[in-house]
Structure 1
Amino acid sequence: MKPTQLVFAPSGASPQNRLRNLIGLKGLTPVALAVLSASPAMADGLAGELGAGQSDFGGVGIMQTPTARMAPEGTMSVSWSRTQPYRRYNVFFQPTAWFEGGFRYVEVENREFTAAGDGRANLDKGFDMKLRLLEETRYWPQVALGFRDVGGTTLFGAEYLAASKRLGDVDLTLGLGWGYLGNYSDVSSPFGWIDSKLDERPRRSGGSQGGEFALDSLFRGPMALFGGVEWQTPWDRLILQAELEGNNYANEPQNNDQDRDSRVNLGARLAVTDNFELRTGWQRGNTAMAGVSYNIDLAGLRQVKNDPAPMPIDAPPRDSWSTVAGELESNAGMRVARISQDGSHLRVEAEPTTFRHLGQSEGRAGRILHAQADEGVDQFRYTWYSRGMPLREDVHPRDSFVAAARSESAEEAHLHSLYAHARLDVPDGETLYRGRASGFDWGVGPRLDQNFGGPDGYLFRLMAVADAEYRTDANGWFSGELAWTVWDNLDDYEYIADSQLPRVRTFIGDYLAESSLGIENLQYTRTARLGDNWYAMGYGGLLEMMYAGAGGELLYRPFNSPLALGVDVNWVRQRDFEQRFDLRDYETWTGHATAYIDTGIEDILAKVSLGRYLARDFGGTLDLSREFASGVRIGAWGTWTDAGDDFGEGGFDKGLYLSMPFDALFTRSSRDRAELDWRPLTRDGGAALNRRYELFDLTEEREMGRYWDDYHRTWN
């Protein structure tokens, strides 16, 4: 099964691990998500912009040919095109200004999915990437190096070097292509003098079962010229296109050669909205093309807020500190554990609940505290906790804060007077208020799990999900999730490929089909701080849909450091398909050592994990992600293990994910997130336990992040 999923996860759930291995698109469909994100995100979109259109294959290009152009940083583009006999479904990201990456499914209408043998159309998947080598100047074109279908079966694999130059209302591209883009063979291989093997290109690459990086075929074989032109018409919504192809359609994958009457393709792009575009064309001199594309500005994603207004700075005192604590939660978004006074310092110990930026909570809290504090208080101190673990303390001098709250001209002085540190041992002081550590919280809502792109066609499961949590104290809590299937078509799911490893994930169809009511999670979790930079967590119960067990995690995370180190160890046993309390025979130990590295390059976070996976295979996972100022994080990961040929189709595990803050989608502030994960195949190799909580996410406020850059939010 080939899942794409959207999971609504609480703060502290891992974008990589939160139900990553299961099928599904949870909470919102991609279309609904796109519509929600578009209206606040992009007043001036990419639709109808010269040199910014999506190609038939996805990624910025003309039609069949790519260009050297890039989308604006932080753009996500979703597109579909049909040129008989191919239907292409594409999702592409622009995580940095110089790198474009994405994936696609190609549905081959006149070829069967042979493993199924039931008439279903063949589906091919692939990854692309493009690197900008040179930015355009007045005299020089923009130059890019690209790789198409480099991480899949490589049926449509190609490499290219492209140059693009804008001249007024015209954008010109000229390039050289290898592989699928070089089949016209205008030029012999330029590298044959190095080794005669480079004169010929393998017919199939990417490993014996596909899915591996096709390093053995890169830049091999003859080349072809390709290029094209786009013209911005006087009607600014319409762009006309013409291109010269490098493919001759005489060497199509799966012996699916196509007639070609012309090497020149003609097309047009029409902007329907700022972000939605219709595309059409006449290709190969005899075939029509139709397509659509939609762009989302992830970096600029935002929504106008309808939160309660901050309290007036000169409001009268409240009747008690208990009332103050209530207002701190309802207005400043902080669940107060304790308010104390130590001489001239007024301290609030709390967990953030509402605002994504701590400075915003502190700015609102300072107004409330100023009204209540006596004249002898000269500092407001906020000691921030997560699940009972102290993380840091932010300090606001009272005088400069009050002056800035009253006058914008005093904000700079206040900015330079506040500071943060890793204070963990809080003085006793005089307790003015102490909150309850225990409590119960629950919620019920709909959830949609859906899967597309697999051989089974479109699969879905509509559920009602009850989620509950009982906190026994500041550091411990029970959590549970019960899911009832209201409507589904999962009977269409069929497990086709044989797994040579223990079936730790490929029983997914049995779990989904066996019962309409299942306990997806029921566990007790406990946290602790072991030292200045050391945190620990233990947990046990029904840890996820497929596994029960117990485990623990240890994290070393210095304050505001670019490096953190963690270790987790878990004993698990496979759950029964009915998802109650019965267990199957399979059990194992699994765990990893993980390094979290802030690379300092383009806000990229690298996670490197080494350890033992559920199928008892050993290996490692590399996860690279970037978070934009909007709070949206995009990332990609790959897992390689010692399973070798036993791994099965795909060769290694890999996928992409998108984590979106609710704060950017809705009119009320929230710290919750929506997780969209995509992986091409569900296989048993490299399968990790889906732990509901991870210490690195729970301790995110140990990192100052954009605290200073977002200082203006203090007054919102």
Structure 2
Amino acid sequence: MSIFFYVNFLHSDYLDYIYEDRNPSYNSFGVAGLIQTPSAEILGEANLHFVLNKNDIYKLGTLTIAPFDWMEASYFYYRPSDLLWAGPLSKGLYLDKGFNVKINYQPKFKYAPKVAIGMNDFAGHSLFSREYIVATQAIKNFKFNLGIGWGAFAQQKNYKNPLEFLGDRFSERGDLYNKDYGVGGNFSTDLWFTGPVGIFGGTEISIPYAKGMKFKIEYDPFDYMDFSCCGGGTSPESMYLRSKDSNINYGLSFPAFSENLTFDISYIKGNTINFTVAFGGNFSNSFFQKPKYKRVKPTITAKDKTKKTFYIDLLKNLNRKGLYLQSADLDSENDLDITISNSTYRSHIRSSSYAADTALSVADEFDIDVKKIQITHLNADMELSKISYLTKSFDNPKHIELIKKDTEILNNDVNGYKSHEFVPNVKFPSFHYGWTPAMVNHIGSPEKFLFAGAVIRADTQLQFSRRLMLSTNFAFDLGNNFDEKVSDPGSQLQNVRTEIVRYLQEGDKYIPLMQLDYIWPISRDINAKISSGILERMYGGVGGEIIYKPLDRNFAIGAELYHVKQRDFDQLFDFKEYETETGHVNFKYQFNQGVILNLSYGKYLAQDVGYTFDLSRRTKSGFRAGFWFTRTDVSFEEFGEGSFDKGFYFQIPVDLFLRKHRGAYTNFRLRPLTRDGGQKLNQGKRLNGMLMNTQHINFRNQWSDFLD
């Protein structure tokens, strides 16, 4: 048996050497596959890619995310070169958008193929509407795909739907432009897996010693006079551009410069050259190796080894590492309790183990035999995690399972650190500032896909006490093309968001935030915050929130209520007439697999009432991807195009791109359309975000960070 495994190991390395980069690649539509058709493969958890495609018929831009190894989701924009938007002079202005999803399964039997089920453009008036089941079998450097598909897959040659035994509704496919889909944006469930089916398939061949180059060939089942057609109508060029001379597509895929950038060039439908570029990467690990923790002899400045001088040298050594000491207490049993403030490390196991090891090194220099050490993290007078280590854990830091067994994560206290023997004096008020370049954008307009600009932002914080602080952002416009965009809210509701273009156009020097916060730790598990001032770019007001977040549970419950007034377009200190109350009751639940569910119910900015459903996945690296939708008492017709508010987002830890640790994140959030229904206040510094690492489940994936 051991010989068998040894041979397989050598065989795997041998193939990896000859056929470098046998990972899946993306097709024209940003779905893992061949050229125009999908495969059963997925690039893997925490993959994020932008896929751009261009040929004579259309341009496609797709953002594809894999929150799990077995799931891939994407959002695309489609701009055909030949279709009309609003009359004969609007050729090339038509813009469509949609969502794709694919789920796959790898059977336990080694030689069985991967199988996937997927849906492309599955909502509303879907020009690409299609569903499929596909199998992929890999044999050395060959990957064979074979699948059946509904919708667009059955446009040329089709067969009886094998699902007809489930009911007559599966025998025929409905009309994409049925009035039941109203103003678009609804899930077209009546169409899914209905009507006749078509067959598709193909092969991908990894070329030996070609540094990841692949040859692809496939059977193309699409009728391009129907597929991705016809928007506001065809133009005289459509018949020529969309004609098809062959059902066989073939092409090459090859990485350029690095595995994070891939080019595809192919020949489709017998008469058209097709280009695809995929740029992105896997965010399950850092792109750069960070230096490992090294135990360094502490710097001791004390001449007399007393408890007071121990505290002072402890303060200096911790502060030097960005672990700012807030309090310390060494009791008669030589148990050491310290409180730190940390903005450098996202993982509290990492920061607490670094702080504990540093403290033990200082204690050794003072001949103090510490038995147990407890590290508490503090954020704005709120005690977060309290981690209690046995000192023997630091003798063998690689024995993680034993360390987990010996370590306790305890309930925090309300201002327990203030009773410690050593509490350094912090001088208030304190002032902090920094300069940050930033991008602002407006995506998805028919007249131009992207309107964007650059600003330089001054971020300041004036802290009057641990609980009271004023946060201000000043933004200075460096340049943009927003003046090319016409502001046209076109909404039946109060324009609470649809006038965003006016805000983008008229704010050359503006104040996105000037918020005064008072933090109030009520009990171990309950915290509150009162805020007033300029709360976001479009609104100012006053209000507060409260949250219950118990240590030994996976849920949090909170509520918020604000009275807000809409700001003037110049975004300085003037306001418009519209004002309202907005507030929600919020529920959050974290599942063991990193899945996070957020539900909220309440009143939105346009005074509509309803709920928001938000589902996301956070990987071990901190990468998070999710989607949301909101349904309120506003009808689909009153809401307008899109029917209801929805979108997706992802969050990437900044230090994945750095050679050192950093606690910040970069965020991206996109909704297909900006409408007025279902709009929340974009209030900064929410309590839930300030209370990170306060529940047992938050530490599940952090133990490998111990003295790492």
* Normalised TM-score (structure 2): 0.88
What's the counterpart of residue 15 of structure 1? none
Taking a change above 3 Å as real, the CA distance of residues 579 and 706 of structure 1, as seen in their structure-2 partners, is closer
Listed as ranges, the gaps of 5+ residues in structure 1 are: 1-43
What's the counterpart of residue 28 of structure 2? 56
1-structure distance, mates of 2:302, 2:351? 19
What's the counterpart of residue 630 of structure 1? 621
What's the counterpart of residue 597 of structure 2? 606
Give 3-state SS (helix, strand or coil) of 1:151's partner. Answer: coil
Q: Quick check: 1:381–1:393 contact (8 Å CA) kept in 2?
A: yes
Taking a change above 3 Å as real, the CA distance of residues 430 and 615 of structure 1, as seen in their structure-2 partners, is closer
Q: Quick check: 1:518–1:580 contact (8 Å CA) kept in 2?
A: yes
How far is the alpha carbon of 1:492 from its aligned partner? Answer: 1.1
**Residue type matched to 1:241 in 2?**
K
Deviation per CA, 1:25-79: give whole Å up to 9, x if none. xxxxxxxxxxxxxxxxxxx99x974460101111101111111111122211221
What's the counterpart of residue 50 of structure 2? 78
Specify which of 285, 301, 304 is matched with residue 286 of structure 2.
301
Determine if the alignment matches structure 1 residue 422 to structure 2 residue 395: no
Tell me which moved more, 516-525 or 388-397: 388-397
Taking a change above 3 Å as real, the CA distance of residues 238 and 279 of structure 1, as seen in their structure-2 partners, is same
How many residue pairs match? The answer is: 666
Determine if the alignment matches structure 1 residue 221 to structure 2 residue 214: no
CA RMSD of aligned residues (A): 2.6
Determine if the alignment matches structure 1 residue 446 to structure 2 residue 437: yes
Taking a change above 3 Å as real, the CA distance of residues 530 and 177 of structure 1, as seen in their structure-2 partners, is same
What's the counterpart of residue 145 of structure 1? 117
2-structure distance, mates of 1:51, 1:674? 27
What's the counterpart of residue 195 of structure 1? 168
How far is the alpha carbon of 1:274 from its aligned partner? Answer: 2.0
How far is the alpha carbon of 1:200 from its aligned partner? Answer: 3.3
How far is the alpha carbon of 1:539 from its aligned partner? Answer: 0.4
Deviation per CA, 1:306-325: give whole Å up to 9, x if none. 69965327968685634432
What's the counterpart of residue 324 of structure 1? 314
Determine if the alignment matches structure 1 residue 121 to structure 2 residue 93: yes
Specify which of 79, 87, 103 is matched with residue 107 of structure 1.
79
Tell me which moved more, 462-471 or 48-57: 48-57
1-structure distance, mates of 2:72, 2:330? 53
Determine if the alignment matches structure 1 residue 275 to structure 2 residue 266: no
What's the counterpart of residue 711 of structure 1? 703
Determine if the alignment matches structure 1 residue 379 to structure 2 residue 364: no
How far is the alpha carbon of 1:246 from its aligned partner? Answer: 2.0
Taking a change above 3 Å as real, the CA distance of residues 412 and 588 of structure 1, as seen in their structure-2 partners, is closer
Report matched runs for 1:169-208 at 5 Å: 169-191=141-163, 194-195=167-168, 198-204=171-177, 207-208=181-182
1-structure distance, mates of 2:87, 2:530? 44
Taking a change above 3 Å as real, the CA distance of residues 219 and 402 of structure 1, as seen in their structure-2 partners, is closer
Determine if the alignment matches structure 1 residue 649 to structure 2 residue 653: no
What's the counterpart of residue 354 of structure 2? 364
How far is the alpha carbon of 1:135 from its aligned partner? Answer: 3.3
Deviation per CA, 1:398-455: give whole Å up to 9, x if none. 3x14534xxx577765553222111315376552232416321111232222344432
Specify which of 177, 183, 186 is matched with residue 209 of structure 1.
183
How far is the alpha carbon of 1:650 from its aligned partner? Answer: 0.9
2-structure distance, mates of 1:260, 1:189? 25
Q: Quick check: 2:586–2:601 contact (8 Å CA) kept in 1?
A: yes
Specify which of 533, 538, 543 is matched with residue 541 of structure 1.
533
Q: Quick check: 2:454–2:478 contact (8 Å CA) kept in 1?
A: yes
Give 3-state SS (helix, strand or coil) of 2:643's partner. Answer: coil
1-structure distance, mates of 2:432, 2:299? 34
1-structure distance, mates of 2:323, 2:133? 53
Specify which of 276, 287, 290 is matched with residue 272 of structure 2.
287
**Residue type matched to 1:101 in 2?**
A
**Residue type matched to 1:122 in 2?**
Y
How far is the alpha carbon of 1:301 from its aligned partner? Answer: 2.9
Listed as ranges, the gaps of 5+ residues in structure 2 are: 1-15, 304-308
**Residue type matched to 2:259 in 1?**
D
Tell me which moved more, 322-331 or 613-622: 322-331
What's the counterpart of residue 570 of structure 1? 562
How far is the alpha carbon of 1:343 from its aligned partner? Answer: 3.0
How far is the alpha carbon of 1:482 from its aligned partner? Answer: 0.8
2-structure distance, mates of 1:195, 1:409? 62
What's the counterpart of residue 41 of structure 1? none
Q: Quick check: 1:338–1:433 contact (8 Å CA) kept in 2?
A: yes
Taking a change above 3 Å as real, the CA distance of residues 122 and 698 of structure 1, as seen in their structure-2 partners, is same
What's the counterpart of residue 30 of structure 1? none
1-structure distance, mates of 2:704, 2:105? 36
Q: Quick check: 1:188–1:199 contact (8 Å CA) kept in 2?
A: no
Q: Quick check: 2:327–2:420 contact (8 Å CA) kept in 1?
A: no
**Residue type matched to 2:254 in 1?**
L
Larger relative CO (CA 8 A, sep 6+): 1 or 2?
1
Higher radius of gyration, 1 or 2: 2
Tell me which moved more, 94-103 or 383-392: 383-392
Determine if the alignment matches structure 1 residue 264 to structure 2 residue 248: yes
Q: Quick check: 1:192–1:199 contact (8 Å CA) kept in 2?
A: no
Taking a change above 3 Å as real, the CA distance of residues 83 and 204 of structure 1, as seen in their structure-2 partners, is farther
Deviation per CA, 1:159-196: give whole Å up to 9, x if none. 11111112222111111111122212421344556226
2-structure distance, mates of 1:362, 1:249? 60
2-structure distance, mates of 1:88, 1:429? 61
Taking a change above 3 Å as real, the CA distance of residues 218 and 432 of structure 1, as seen in their structure-2 partners, is same
What's the counterpart of residue 640 of structure 1? 631
How far is the alpha carbon of 1:328 from its aligned partner? Answer: 1.5
What's the counterpart of residue 663 of structure 1? 655
2-structure distance, mates of 1:540, 1:329? 33
Q: Quick check: 2:548–2:557 contact (8 Å CA) kept in 1?
A: yes
Q: Quick check: 1:391–1:699 contact (8 Å CA) kept in 2?
A: yes
Q: Quick check: 1:528–1:536 contact (8 Å CA) kept in 2?
A: yes
What's the counterpart of residue 222 of structure 2? 247
2-structure distance, mates of 1:115, 1:620? 38
How far is the alpha carbon of 1:111 from its aligned partner? Answer: 2.3
2-structure distance, mates of 1:307, 1:483? 38
Deviation per CA, 1:439-483: give whole Å up to 9, x if none. 211112322223444323331211111110011111121101111
How far is the alpha carbon of 1:101 from its aligned partner? Answer: 0.5
2-structure distance, mates of 1:259, 1:410? 66
Report matched runs for 1:16-27 at 5 Å: none
Report matched runs for 1:325-344 at 5 Å: 325-331=315-321, 333-344=322-333
2-structure distance, mates of 1:51, 1:410? 34
Q: Quick check: 1:313–1:402 contact (8 Å CA) kept in 2?
A: no
2-structure distance, mates of 1:50, 1:285? 27
Identical aligned pairs, as a percentage?
Answer: 26
